[in-house]
Structure 1
Amino acid sequence: MCDAAHPAEPAALDVDALRARLTGPTERYEKHLTDLAGLYRDADAYASALDAHDGSPVYWVDSSVVEHGDGALTIGLSVLRPGRVGEEFAMTRGHLHARSEFAEMYYGIAGSGVMLLDSLTGESRAVPIGPGTVVHVPGGWVHRSVNVGDEVLQTLFCYATDAGQDYGIIERAGGMSTLVVASDAGWTTRDNPDHGGYGA
């Protein structure tokens, strides 16, 4: 807890885009293809991808929380490898903040991606993100990263630490309302027929 008597110490973090790492006072979590059962609509394509996969992580997050309490920030680097499962591109699980009114910022470092967003009120957006692009995710929007390129997608993010995460909201809704799929132009969006809404 940060207070006037015991203020947090400043911290410096380094983004190493060549090694796809955030260095400094960080923690890492990794997601493997086996962790993403149910994420992709094409179950046969997912099973084939599992058979061919080498067991390496498909995405990972280096995050830094140097203080807690009101006003504290979580800063991190999300790294998503390229690939496809059926027609769908590699993606993160996605989430809404547990305190849904909290916003988040993403800044593109490397690669080519899409920030897929659904509002709790029924709107959907697919916002391209790449080096130098900042995407503001307002409160009340479910969001996930999708890698539509041939290189790793790296994004720097920042949100209020006490916002928390709800990683189950997308699964409970039958997936996000929009799919990002391959097309002759590279990628396009399509309605997800399994999406049942986010409820109350």
Structure 2
Amino acid sequence: MDLALPTRLTVATDGTLGGATRRYTKLLGDLDGVYRDNTAWQAAVAEQGAESIAYAVDDHRYPDQAGGTGRDQLAADNAGALIVGTSTLQPGIVGDEYAMTRGHLHAIADRAELYHCLSGHGVMLLETVDGHSETVELRPGEAVNVPGHWIHRSVNVGDEPFVTLFCYAADAGQDYGIIADAGGMRSLIVRDGDSWAAVPNPDHIGYRADGKA
């Protein structure tokens, strides 16, 4: 049997992951439809440029053993493996909303995920398909263990990059469409004086009952 070899990773508070096998970025111009105030998003793109980085992810993945394609094959190839990485979300406000990631439910919905704050100040916005909502504020040294079946999104409520270390099952996958199909998440994280608040999203129309991609 071919076995993956143990890998030493180094994790810096600025999100640099030594030993990463992949890096991807989401640009401000990629986030059409993520923020409720589309006019404010367009203004931010015009001011900062569509190519400005909204957030970046470095992660480490072991190579697929079978090399197949499709979700069933992905699950078989990665059974028991973990993906470990860092997410660096830049600060900012679009309309009244703080800077955020697209957010997702895992495609295999019962898969959990751990987020540990390395630097900055953020909020993990968490919702279930059947109506539960939670917010978990994170500062350096604090973590949230997100159970399966929770839609989750990182929000930067500070004035410096919000950097987290994350870990989840390699077969989990991501369903980003569930949020878009619902008109956004049930709650918005908005500026409230010098702090933040979670307020209802009037555009939210409910999640797909099956919670599946």
**Normalising by structure 2, what TM-score?**
0.88
Q: Does 1:27 align with 2:22?
A: yes
Deviations 1:127-164 (A, max 9, x none): 10121111011111000000000010000000000011
Q: Is the 8 A contact 1:27 1:62 kept in 2?
A: yes
Q: Does 1:137 align with 2:146?
A: yes
Q: Provide the C-alpha distance between the structure 2 equivalents of 1:153 and 1:187, rounded to a whole number of angstroms.
A: 15
Structure 1 segments (4+ residues) deviating >3 Å: none
The SS at the match of 1:163 is coil
Q: What one-letter code is carried by the residue in structure 2 that aligns with 1:108?
A: C
The structure 2 residue matched to 1:63, chosen from 46, 54, 59, is: 59
Q: What one-letter code is carried by the residue in structure 2 that aligns with 1:17?
A: T
Q: Does 1:110 align with 2:114?
A: no
Q: Is the 8 A contact 2:92 2:98 kept in 1?
A: yes
Q: Is the 8 A contact 1:118 1:124 kept in 2?
A: yes
Deviation at 1:56, TM superposition (A): 2.2
Deviation at 1:70, TM superposition (A): 1.5
Percent sequence identity is: 51
Q: Is the 8 A contact 1:88 1:182 kept in 2?
A: yes
Q: 1:25 to 1:40 in 2, by over 3 A?
A: closer
Deviations 1:18-56 (A, max 9, x none): 4x3112142011001110001111121111101101432
Q: Provide the C-alpha distance between the structure 2 equivalents of 1:52 and 1:85, rounded to a whole number of angstroms.
A: 12
Counterpart position of 1:10: 6
Counterpart position of 1:45: 40
Q: What one-letter code is carried by the residue in structure 2 that aligns with 1:14?
A: T
Deviation at 1:185, TM superposition (A): 4.1
The SS at the match of 1:50 is helix
Q: Is the 8 A contact 2:87 2:164 kept in 1?
A: yes
Deviation at 1:62, TM superposition (A): 0.3
Counterpart position of 2:73: none
Q: Which runs of 5+ in 1 are unaligned?
A: none
Q: Provide the C-alpha distance between the structure 2 equivalents of 1:69 and 1:187, rounded to a whole number of angstroms.
A: 39
Matches within 5 A, 1:38-187: 38-54=33-49, 55-67=51-63, 68-187=77-196
Q: Is the 8 A contact 2:178 2:208 kept in 1?
A: no
Q: Provide the C-alpha distance between the structure 2 equivalents of 1:26 and 1:15, rounded to a whole number of angstroms.
A: 14
The SS at the match of 2:171 is helix
Q: 1:42 to 1:25 in 2, by over 3 A?
A: closer
Deviation at 1:16, TM superposition (A): 2.0
